[in-house]
Structures are given as structure tokens and as C-alpha cells.
Amino acid sequence: MRFCRSISSLAVGAVQKEVDVVDAFCASGIRGIRYAKENSNVDSITFLDLEASAIKAAEKNSRSNGLGAEFKQGNISRLAFECATDFLEIDPFGTPSPYLVDGFRFFNPKKTAYLSVTATDVAVLCGAKTAPCLKNYHSKPLNNGFTHETGLRILIKRIAEVAAEFNMGIEPLVSFSDRHYLKTIMKATRGADLAFQSMKSLGHLHYCSKCGFRGHGRFPEPACRNCGHENDYAGPLWLGELHQKQFIESMGRLNQERQYSDKSEISGFLSLLENETGFPPYYYNVHQLSRFLGKGRIPKLGTIVERLDSKGYRTVRTHFSSTSIKTPAPYSEILEALEWKS
Ligand SMILES: C[S@@+](CC[C@H](N)C(=O)[O-])C[C@H]1O[C@@H](n2cnc3c(N)ncnc32)[C@H](O)[C@@H]1O
Ligand SMILES: [Zn+2]
């Protein structure tokens, strides 16, 4: 999880205000220790964990890193009534869903706060089976060529719902899928109107398994606009932005100043994220699309991007998949670009 912790630590620094951090689910404490040591805007750090052995390890590791910190052993559901924070880290095993209500209690006196959530139940969010996702996230997933973005948007939706119950609106600052986990770091701001605005950013995706056409809206469309076949759907899910561009730019600047061993990988990754803002809430996997076209030979991704760009449709690569693009181009244009011989 080093890469995940590096990205998250850059996000803590990019908050650009003094923060009291709570690393709930701290285990060895490595995440919170990095946040505090790497970011001068961390005023204080508190480590929480259910296990006495974890708190003991976090204490030892903090001491050997010369870090002053607070330590609390116990269940987050109890500790939520004892601590307040501006930046909360929720990093359990599996789904974070049962801990979200507890999480928002930590923000109770605050007007704005930052929440960082990791979900390792990717198979649930990405729809290998529908029932666990309906149970844990109250949404229907879709297991198709753009499933990772759908899963991430379902996770954010679940957080937005809980935030709204606490009268807070959310703004995702950076959100991503990497290997076996999905992650989102967001700003939550108190206000009934803001909470309602977040609810208005929820909706559905519809998808035709016969021709690959996809779309989004408040409600799913029952029939495919391209071929008339019955649509499948996912949702409700978050249809707003996954990231805030200026926030990612700040993270990028901080990355340049730091000596992370994976600095260049992080830099490339942040550029992909930054470019994803302003696009529809799904991507196109060109390998999967070429199967719909019955094509053996697929043009290079760069060629497809150029072809769509030259027709006036801004097209970018996505961090979700190295064989996929994001574009507002009509489906017919995307398929035509795939047919194009380079
Ligand atoms: C995935 S690990 C955390 C990893 C750590 N954040 C890191 O970056 O290395 C999850 C931790 O959550 C703790 N935990 C599980 N349920 C908990 C609960 N209800 N309240 C507090 N801690 C809990 C476990 O003891 C475990 O140490
Ligand atoms: Zn269709």
C-alpha cells in the first residue's frame, strides 16, 4: 500500500490548512506516521485501533520516528464520541460501509472536514455478485468493461448519503482505483443546501450488453438508444466529478518537492487523474469494443485518441485501465475511430 499512502499523504499536504488528523484503523501506524512526518500542516495526530497489539506497535513506531501522538484503543463506534478531527482516515479490511456513520460523528463540531476512505471489497463494488453490493452499498453494480469507475462511484454515493444525514455536502478531491482497492479523499462541508446538492449529483448508468452503448441520467433508460435491446443498469451512484483539478495540481507540485521512490509513477498517475475531470462518468475499453465489432486487429490507443481529437472530441486516457479512453464523442464516432486503419 506504499503507493496509496504516498498519494494520500500528498492529499493531506494539498489541504493547505492546519489539520488535526485521526488515523482510525491505524494497525502499525505507518499511514498516520507518514501523514504527520511529511506534512507541516498536520497539527496533531491520533491513532485508533480495536487491537491492543496494533496500538502498541503504533506507539513504538511513533516513538522511533520522534513523533508526539495520542493513542486510543477501542472500537471506532465508541471512540467516535470521544474525538474530533479535521481529517479522518478510514482504512478497514473490506467494506468501509459500517463505519461511515461513526466517521461523520468525528466531524460533529466542524463546519468543514476531510474524509479519506479505502475499500478493499472491490469484487463487491465491481459487481461479481449483485446481492452483497445491494446489501452493503444499497446500489446495483455492473460487471462490465468500465466496472472500476462504476464501483468507485457507488462507494462515493454511499458516503454522500451518510454525509447528507449529518447535514454535510461532499466534494471528492481525488478518487482512484488501484490493484485491489478503491480510494476516495473528499471535503465535507456542513449545510442543508450542500447536502441536498450532493443528493442531486446521484443517478444511474445504463448499459447495453448487446452493442456496448452506455449512458447516464437521473434514472436508467430501459431500452438501448443504439440498437433497441433491453438495457442493464447500475446505481444509484455518484455522477459528479471524482476529483478537483486544482487539488490534484497541488498534489503534483508537492510530489515534485518530495523524494518518494515512486515519484515518477505518481506524477504520471496524477496527470491521468487530472485529465479525467469534465468527462462522462464512464470509460470505453477499446479491447472490449473491438470484440463488439468482431475485429481482430485493434488500432493503437494513441491513434484512436488522435482520431477523435481531430474530429473535435477531446479524448483522454484514464487511470482506470491502460486500454481505455474517456471521451464525450457519440458512440458511432468511437466505433468509427476503432475501424480506422492507421
Ligand atoms: C487494513 S488495517 C489498517 C492498515 C493501515 N491503515 C495501513 O495503512 O497500514 C485495518 C485495521 O483496523 C482495525 N480495526 C478493525 N475493526 C475496527 C474497529 N471496529 N474499530 C477500530 N479499529 C478496527 C484492525 O485491528 C486493523 O489493525
Ligand atoms: Zn445496444
Q: Kindly state the average pLDDT of the residues 160-173.
A: 98
> What's the 6 CA to ligand 1 centre distance in angstroms?
18
Cis peptide before 109 (omega within 30 of 0): no
Least confidently predicted of 6-20, 136-150, 290-304, 316-330:
290-304
Dist. CA 29–CA 325, nearest whole Å:
37
- Three-state DSSP at 20 gives strand
Which class for 83: exposed (0-12), middle (13-18), buried (19 or more C-beta within 10 A)?
Answer: middle
- Three-state DSSP at 62 gives helix
Q: 168-178 and 112-119 as β-strands: parallel, antiparallel, unpaired?
A: unpaired
Q: What is the pLDDT of residues 186-195, one digit of tens each?
A: 999 999 999 9
Give the closest ligand to the alpha carbon of residue 4. 1
Ligand 1 nearest atom to the CA of residue 54, by list position: 27
pLDDT at position 109 over 90: no
Sorted by where each starts, the structural domains of the chain and their CATH numbers stand as: 2-275 (3.40.50.150), 284-339 (3.30.56.70)
pLDDT at position 162 over 80: yes
Ligand 1 pocket, mutate which of 6, 50, 81, 82 (most atoms under 8 A from CB): 50
Q: Which pLDDT value is given to residue 266?
A: 98
Residues with CB under 6 A from ligand 1: 1, 5, 24-28, 30-31, 48-51, 54, 75-76, 91-93
pLDDT at position 341 over 90: no
Q: Kindly state the average pLDDT of the residues 167-188.
A: 97
Q: Which pLDDT value is given to residue 340?
A: 64
Q: Which pLDDT value is given to residue 290?
A: 85
Q: Kindly state the average pLDDT of the residues 13-19.
A: 96
pLDDT at position 342 over 50: no
> What's the 212 CA to ligand 2 centre distance in angstroms?
6
Q: What is the pLDDT of residues 265-301, one digit of tens each?
A: 999 999 999 999 999 999 999 988 888 778 778 889 9
> What's the 66 CA to ligand 2 centre distance in angstroms?
60
pLDDT at position 124 over 90: yes
| Amino acid (one-letter) located at 312 | G
Dist. CA 160–CA 151, nearest whole Å:
14
Q: What is the pLDDT of residues 219-276, one digit of tens each?
A: 999 999 999 999 999 999 999 999 999 999 999 999 999 999 999 999 999 999 999 9
Q: Tell me the pLDDT band of 119, cut-offs 50, 70 and 90.
A: very high
Ligand 1 nearest atom to the CA of residue 4, by list position: 8
> What's the 43 CA to ligand 2 centre distance in angstroms?
54
> What's the 1 CA to ligand 1 centre distance in angstroms?
14
Q: What is the pLDDT of residues 66-106, one digit of tens each?
A: 999 999 999 999 999 999 999 999 999 999 999 999 999 99
Q: Which pLDDT value is given to residue 288?
A: 86
Query: Can you say whether residue 127 is alpha, beta or left, with left for phi > 0 and alpha for psi between -120 and 50 degrees?
Result: left
Dist. CA 277–CA 62, nearest whole Å:
37
